[in-house]
Every structure is written in structure tokens, then in C-alpha cells.
Amino acid sequence: MHAWLIWLIIAGVLLIFEMLTLTFYLLWLSIGAAAAAVVAWIVPDAILWQVVVGCVVALGLTVFTRPLVQRVRTSRGFQDSGTDLVGREGLVVEPIRQGHYGIVKIGGDTWSASSQQSLDKFERVRVIERGNAIIEVERWEEI
């Protein structure tokens, strides 16, 4: 198998994991792997150069974009897409067991969810905390 193809597969896998975590760090690694794929396509036998270029690109993106991302996230008026989830009601689509994730539907979106309680399918829940890609829920109890 060609080295450039292996680098593209690595870039694709990292990109998929980035979509699950939403941290931007794996995105930079993915772009670094894509840069290594370009070097591998141009100079197939220079494995050291492929690794060096991939690392330099990923490190450069991490170092130079981190302050920019922090500034945007802390700017006035910035709202994350999941900021308003806490307190909302949802419905369990896949059961949640202690120590295992399930799926909860909130509005039109589905989220991976965890809970301190065991929750069965079709139970109503309330979001109590939101992480990067996983929400913490509890059984909905009307007052």
C-alpha cells in the first residue's frame, strides 16, 4: 500500500474522532497527516520528511490557533451550540446504565448521555450538565 494512502486514512480517522470530541486538537493532527500525505505523494521514499512535515504542521496549527480560538470562545456574545441544553427536557432513545452511555433525544438532536441512575427507553429526562459531546441527565420529576 502506498504511504500517501496510509496518511490519508490516518487523516480521515482523526477527522472522524474530531467530530465526536469537538476539541480542534484532532483536527490539527488530521491536517498534519494530510500534509504528510502530500509529501508522501511527492517524495514516496522520504518517510522521515513525511513525519517531520506532519508534526510541524500539526504543532504549528496547535500553537498559533489556540490563542485565536480562546479569544473567540471568551468574546462577548459567543454562545456554544449546546449552551442552552442544561435544564432542557429530553427522551431516552437508548437505555442508560450506570457506567455506560445511552442516547437521549432533545428537540431534533440526539446526544450521547450518561446518568447516575439507570434509565429505560422512553423515559423523560432533564439535562443537568454538558461536556464536549456527552451530556449528563437525570430522571425528569415534575414539581
- Sorted by sequence, the CB contacts under 8 Å of residue 119 that are 6+ apart come out as 92, 95, 96, 102, 125, 137, 139
DSSP class of residue 143 equals: -
Please report the pLDDT score of residue 133 as a whole number: 78
Give the chain's domains with CATH numbers.
3-74 (no CATH), 83-139 (2.40.50.140)
- Torsion-angle region of residue 13: left (phi > 0), alpha (psi -120 to 50) or beta? alpha
Place of cell 512535515: 53
C-alpha cell of 34? Answer: 494530510
Q: What DSSP character marks residue 28?
A: H
pTM, two decimal places = 0.55
User: In the prediction, which pLDDT does 79 show?
Assistant: 59
Per-residue model confidence as pLDDT tens digits over 5-63: 999 999 999 999 888 876 777 899 999 999 999 999 999 889 999 999 999 999 999 88
Instruction: Characterise 22 by phi-psi region: left (phi > 0), alpha (psi -120 to 50), beta (else).
Output: left
